């Protein structure tokens, strides 16, 4: 009996092993390149903030698009975001798809550094050098964050970082354009009678004069990564401008009759709405209301908006902006339909039956649209765009349909005209939006589908861009929070990402992720405001990308439409134009890379600046051939874990003390950017 019991206990003790995860081991051939580059940072010491050099060792190897960041001591999350963005910008500038490579950033500093994205630009230089196989000058040190469009953004601690660069023997110190003048706080003591008055004031300091006279280092302001690249490598990429018209003859021949058809519909709808409103007015069926809430005035204003949009649509059509004309016709149709609903409601005595009848009719329209887009076949990159746009519009129609019922239910107990009109307004929008879903699906018949795709390809692209959107939104949120800038773009990006995560419509998910990325990118670029330079740069990126995509025999319909829309509104709103240009670029770039494009960008060698030297020593740049390595990623992760574990306790005890203290008011910020923005706004 005891023997049987012992046997059973042994068997039971072995049961967990039956479900144990197996250990997998393999070897693989890896081609890798490695470079070590230095970035200035700011460290907190007992004597205050001082500049230090941070060593950044970067390895590129064949892989699947992963970016690993190992830091010692620990740094803030924005260092990881900077690395991801650096690789993305390097990929875009060189024309090499980074999804075929892994990048490993190992960041080492002698002392804990204050958080900040100021190493982003130099990380981008390292990534470009690895992709192209270029040597990097050891005479140049740079500070600056990297923006998604390749421009170099402002940072703090310029003087401290410049001193660190000079003491390390650098001949050139590159800083973001516009930061040649910084401010220092000077404390003065004045004896007034028996009292000592302490006065603090901010004085401007010319960075170039200060560092040049004290250390002999040359300070240069750089606007973008391409300009900085010349100092580090001697190479530059030519300015990317499209040499072809944005709208081709084929595109115009297709869009022109479609725009004309929408104009005819909008004109007819407006005339009917205008007639109904006059009928309501003559019969006096619209309640008088009050001066602050006048139903008749509200309906009249909407009718006027419909007419204005109709006129804008005609003007756009006459100027060959066909997609913008279609969009303005759509807006006119929505307003005219609302006037129709509101007038018919009052003409029929304001009964609930009328709303129910209209709601049922629009529900049928929306259901038909959602069913059609869900079953729409995607064969290639043309139908992918058309189906994706149609699915997004069907989702939008369904959402506003649901909102209309919410407003109606609210109206049933508030009896507020605002709730009543919101219910009908959402119904009008849902009805017209469902029609645009059919419109986009119909575009498939006008273009030849190119580059055939399948479900596996689509799922892979959806996952890829959704993951990247999640990463860039997290990074952008950190930067925006630290700077105190507007969070509107971040909120929009997060909303789009949530919609993309729905998963029911895969094509829609892909394009919603792209739009989320576009908004997150703009959130970063707009931290210091949007100007004409931002818009022009993004416009050029989009137009060039569209041209390159067409060179691959792919017509980027959505990208061209949104680019045209951006041009149409640029004079009225730089922010809105920037969004459409950025989204246009993201779409075109996705189509080209998704088709397997490997058009490596051309570069030219102009030579390094005088008095500089190029180092290809092992401690600066190493290129190794093929070799067999096993579990390299596991080694990296282990190293990261051990480094973090050793420093965790030390960093925890110091975390409360670290930060940038405003020299004027004493407020402490978690990042250099946050302090700089605060001083610019509050103590300017």
List, for residues 612-635, the tens digit of each pLDDT value: 444 443 333 333 333 333 334 444
> What is the overall mean pLDDT for the chain?
84
- Tokens 């792209």 correspond to what residue? 514
Residue, of 371 and 594, whose pLDDT is higher: 371
Residue 570 above 80 pLDDT?
Answer: yes
Q: What is the DSSP string of 423-479?
A: HHHHHHHHHHHHHHHHHHHHGGGTS---SB--HHHHHHHHHHHHHHHHHHHHHHHHH
Percent of the chain whose pLDDT exceeds 70: 82
Model pLDDT, residue 525: 85
Q: Longest Cα pair distance anywhere in the chain, in angstroms?
A: 103
CB 60 within 8 A of CB 33: yes
DSSP structural state of residue 147: P
Query: From CA 258, how far away is CA 370, in angstroms rounded?
Result: 22
Mean pLDDT value of segment 382-401: 97
- Residue 652 scores a pLDDT above 50: no
State how beta strands 235-236 and 604-605 pair: antiparallel
| pLDDT score, position 655 | 37
User: Where residue 673 falls among pLDDT bands split at 50, 70, 90?
Assistant: low
pLDDT value of position 482: 72
- 3-state SS class at 151: strand
Strands 152-153 and 145-146, sheet pairing: antiparallel
- The Cα–Cα gap between 300 and 294 comes to 10
Contact partners, residue 444, CB within 8 Å, separation at least 6: 382, 383, 386, 387
pLDDT for res 10? 60
Give mean pLDDT, residues 497-522.
Answer: 93
Residue 160, pLDDT > 60, answer yes
Strand partners, 137: 614
Q: Where are the beta strands (DSSP E) in 577-644?
A: 604-605, 614-615, 621-629
Global pTM reads 0.76
Buried b (16+ CB within 10 A) or exposed e, 506-540: bbbbbbbbbbbbbbbbbbbbbbbebeeebbebbbb
More confident of the two residues 290 and 457? 457
> For residues 350 and 342, is the Cβ–Cβ distance under 8 A?
no
Query: Do residues 119 and 39 lie in contact, with contact meaning Cβ atoms separated by under 8 Å?
Result: yes
pLDDT for 26 beyond 60: yes
Per residue in 361-375, pLDDT (tens digit) is 999 999 999 999 999
Distance between CA atoms of 48 and 50, rounded to whole angstroms?
Answer: 6
pLDDT for the residue numbered 311: 97
What local confidence, expressed as pLDDT, does residue 287 receive? 87
Higher-confidence residue: 480 or 646?
480
Answer positive or negative: Cα dihedral of 573, 574, 576, 581: positive
CA distance 525 to 538: 11
How high is the pLDDT of residue 333? Answer: 98
Q: What are phi and psi of 110, to 5 degrees?
A: -70, -20
CATH numbers and ranges of domains, the chain: 28-186+207-233 (3.30.230.10), 249-377+390-445 (no CATH), 455-594 (no CATH)
Q: Give first-to-last CA distance, the chain, whole Å.
A: 88
Q: Can you give the pLDDT at residue 622?
A: 38
Give the pLDDT confidence score for residue 483 in this predicted structure: 75
Please give the structure tokens belonging to residue 305: 């908006």
pLDDT of 553-568, one tens digit each?
Answer: 899 999 999 999 999 9
The single-letter DSSP state of residue 98 is G
- Residue with tokens 């008055």, as numbered in its chain: 197
Rg of the chain taking only CA atoms, in angstroms: 30
Q: What is the mean pLDDT of residues 257-280?
A: 96
Confidence of residue 406 (pLDDT cuts 50, 70, 90): very high
Side-chain half-sphere of 137: how many Cα atoms within 13 Å?
A: 25
Is pLDDT above 50 for 328? Answer: yes
| Cα 385 to Cα 444: distance, rounded to the nearest angstrom | 9
């Amino acid at each position: 009996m005891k023997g049987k019991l012992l046997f059973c206990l042994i068997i039971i003790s072995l049961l967990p092993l039956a479900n144990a995860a197996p250990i997998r081991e393999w070897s693989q051939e890896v081609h890798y390149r490695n470079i070590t580059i230095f970035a200035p940072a700011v460290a907190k010491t007992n004597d205050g903030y001082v500049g230090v050099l941070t060593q950044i060792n970067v390895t590129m190897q064949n892989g699947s698009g992963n970016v690993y960041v190992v830091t010692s001591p620990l740094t803030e999350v924005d260092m990881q975001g900077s690395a991801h963005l650096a690789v993305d910008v390097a990929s875009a500038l060189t024309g090499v798809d980074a999804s075929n490579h892994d990048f490993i950033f190992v960041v080492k500093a002698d002392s804990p550094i204050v958080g900040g994205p100021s190493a982003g630009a130099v990380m981008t230089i390292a990534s470009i050098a690895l992709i192209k196989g270029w040597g990097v000058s050891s005479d140049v040190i740079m500070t600056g964050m990297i923006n998604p469009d390749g421009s170099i953004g402002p940072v703090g601690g310029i003087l401290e970082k410049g001193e660190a660069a000079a003491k390390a023997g650098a001949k050139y110190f590159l800083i973001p354009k516009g930061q040649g003048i910084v401010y220092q706080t000077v404390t003065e003591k004045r004896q007034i009678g028996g009292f000592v008055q302490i006065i603090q004031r901010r004085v401007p300091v010319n960075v170039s004069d200060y560092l040049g006279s004290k250390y002999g280092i040359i300070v240069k302001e750089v606007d973008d990564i391409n300009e900085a690249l010349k100092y580090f490598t001697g190479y530059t990429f030519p300015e990317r401008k499209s040499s072809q018209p944005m709208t081709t003859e084929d595109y115009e021949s297709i869009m022109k009759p479609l725009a004309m058809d929408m104009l005819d519909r909008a004109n007819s709808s407006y005339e009917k709405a205008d007639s109904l409103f006059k009928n309501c007015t003559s019969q006096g069926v619209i309640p008088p209301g009050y001066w602050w809430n006048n139903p008749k005035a509200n309906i009249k204003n909407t009718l006027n908006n419909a007419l204005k949009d109709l006129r804008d649509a005609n003007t756009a059509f006459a100027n060959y902006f066909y997609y913008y004309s279609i969009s303005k016709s759509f807006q006119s149709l929505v307003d005219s339909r609302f006037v129709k609903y509101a007038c018919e409601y009052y003409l029929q005595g304001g009964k609930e039956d009328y709303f129910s009848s209209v709601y049922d009719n629009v529900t049928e329209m929306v259901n038909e649209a959602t069913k059609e887009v869900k079953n729409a076949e995607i064969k290639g990159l043309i139908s992918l765009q058309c189906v994706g746009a149609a699915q997004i519009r069907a989702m939008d129609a369904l959402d506003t349909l649901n909102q209309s019922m919410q407003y109606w239910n609210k109206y049933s107990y508030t009896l507020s005209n605002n709730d009543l009109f919101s219910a009908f307004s959402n119904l009008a929008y849902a009805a017209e939006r469902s029609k645009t879903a059919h419109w986009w699906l119909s575009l498939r018949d006008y273009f030849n589908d190119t580059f055939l795709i399948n479900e596996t390809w689509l799922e892979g692209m959806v996952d890829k861009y959704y993951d990247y959107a999640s990463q860039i939104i997290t990074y952008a949120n950190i930067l925006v929070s630290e700077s105190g800038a507007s969070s509107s773009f971040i909120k929009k990006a997060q909303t789009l990402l949530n919609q993309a995560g729905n998963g029911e419509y895969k094509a829609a998910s892909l394009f919603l992720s792209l739009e989320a990325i576009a908004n997150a990118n703009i959130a970063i670029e707009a931290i210091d405001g949007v100007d004409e330079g931002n818009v022009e740069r993004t416009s050029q990126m989009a137009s060039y990308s569209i041209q390159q995509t067409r060179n691959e025999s792919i017509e980027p319909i959505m990208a061209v439409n949104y680019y045209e829309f951006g041009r149409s509104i640029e004079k009225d709103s730089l922010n809105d134009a920037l969004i459409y240009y950025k989204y246009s670029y993201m779409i075109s770039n996705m189509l080209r890379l998704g088709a397997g494009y490997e058009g490596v960008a051309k570069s030219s060698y102009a030579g390094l600046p005088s008095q500089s030297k190029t180092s290809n020593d092992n401690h600066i740049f190493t290129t190794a051939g093929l070799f067999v390595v096993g579990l390299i990623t596991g080694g990296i992760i282990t190293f990261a874990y051990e480094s973090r574990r050793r420093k965790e306790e030390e960093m925890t005890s110091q975390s409360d003390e670290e930060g940038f203290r405003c020299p004027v008011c004493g407020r402490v910020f978690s990042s250099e950017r946050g302090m700089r923005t605060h001083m610019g706004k509050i103590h300017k």
